[in-house]
Amino acid sequence: MEQLEIVEGLIQEKPQVSPVSPADYVTKTEGSKYYGDALNDTNINELVGDEIPHVVILVGFPKYGKSTFVASLYHKVLTTGCVGDYIFVDSDTLAGFERRAQVRDIELKINDRIDRTPVYADYFLSMLFVHSVTKKRVKLVLSDRSGENYLRYAKSETDMNQDMVLKNAAHIIFFLDASKIASDKIFDLQDDLSDLILRMNKYGAFDGEKFVDIVYNKADILKTEETKELFRSNAESIENIISKKKQINKKFKISSLNAENEDLNNFFKYLLSGNIDEPYIDEALLQQINWVKNKYSKTK
């Protein structure tokens, strides 16, 4: 199937998204309420197939741009049908992507950022790609939890200890707000991030072979030399907070609202580059999450 046919088919079959209230999530007994919606720990097993998923945890506080990034990735595959040499084939969570894309569109229209992912919303989103030459298949699974969850994690071990995927996934990406780093709001960010990193380290989220990246979002605000210099100075202190507990693999500066941003598109390609292999995870931990156990049992 040609890339254009894939895109046209997706646009024609664009899912109808119903409004969701907190009650919809509180009252459901298991899984996501709507077909094609984002998934959670109870039904993530549905994503396990012939492909070993590459699971990426997006970590960031409210309005730092995690969901905007996810929506821009969705926009790209709908409009072009590919990311670099990888052709978009399918998604089990199109409605979940569509919800995020809808808010992204509103943000573009009003030129302001609004709250996107509620605390009660499900968070696992998946995309299946195939390489145009090698035919290698890659299932990308993104964990897009609400930023409020990570504020709670920074203050509560109990809340964090319920997030088994954070401990088991091999790729963690910290989304940071460049506009806050280049301002006097850096101090609140430093405090919250320090608390979060300490609890993540104690929880074991950095144990073993793990890739930890940093994404500085909203980098388009770094226009003047004064702002750029302030950002460079403050970013170094932020990176030190993380690197004291885990080595930083790569750093990116992007503008997640701008689908034409070259750095953003290079970051998309990086996620599918195939340079990151997920390490083996201890069997005792695998017992706690079925989808992780199933994933690795296929490689033994």
Over the stretch 68-109, which tens digit does the pLDDT of each residue have? 898 889 889 989 999 999 999 988 777 766 776 565 455 545
Question: Is residue 11 in a domain?
Answer: no
- Look up the domain containing 243 and give its range: 44-268
Tell me how far apart the alpha carbons of residues 58 and 105 are, in angstroms, rounded to a whole number.
21
**195 has pLDDT over 50:** yes
Residue 80 lies in a domain: yes
Q: How far apart are CA 170 and CA 197, in angstroms?
A: 16
283 part of a folded domain = no
Distance CA 288, CA 53 (A): 18
CB distance 69 to 271 below 8 Å: no
Strands 171-177 and 54-59: parallel
Q: Considering the entire predicted model, what is its pTM?
A: 0.76
In a domain, 177, yes or no: yes
For residues 276 and 51, which has the higher predicted lDDT (pLDDT)? 51
In a domain, 137, yes or no: yes
- CB 255 within 8 Å of CB 219: yes
- SS3 (DSSP) at 24: helix
pLDDT of amino acid 48? 56
Amino acid at 9: G
Give every CB contact of residue 253 below 8 A, 6+ residues apart in sequence. 178, 215, 216, 219, 222, 263
Domain assignment of residue 26, yes or no: no
Strands 124-131 and 86-90: antiparallel
Q: The CATH number of the domain where 139 resides is what?
A: 3.40.50.300
Highest mean pLDDT among 87-96, 140-149, 229-238: 229-238
CB atoms within 10 A of CB 242: 22
Q: What is the mean pLDDT of residues 20-26?
A: 40
Residue 221 above 50 pLDDT?
Answer: yes
Is 231 a domain residue?
Answer: yes
Residues 282, 168 contacting (CB under 8 angstroms)? no
- How is residue 274 annotated by DSSP? S
What pLDDT does residue 144 have? 87
Count of domains in the chain? Answer: 1
Determine the average pLDDT of the residues in 40-68: 77
Residue type, 113: R
Question: Is 122 within a domain?
Answer: yes
Q: What is the pLDDT of residues 197-208, one digit of tens each?
A: 999 999 999 998
Nearest CA to 227 among 286, 184, 170? 184
Query: Contact 148/64 with Cβ under 8 angstroms?
Result: no
- With a pLDDT cut of 70, the percent of the chain lying above it is 66
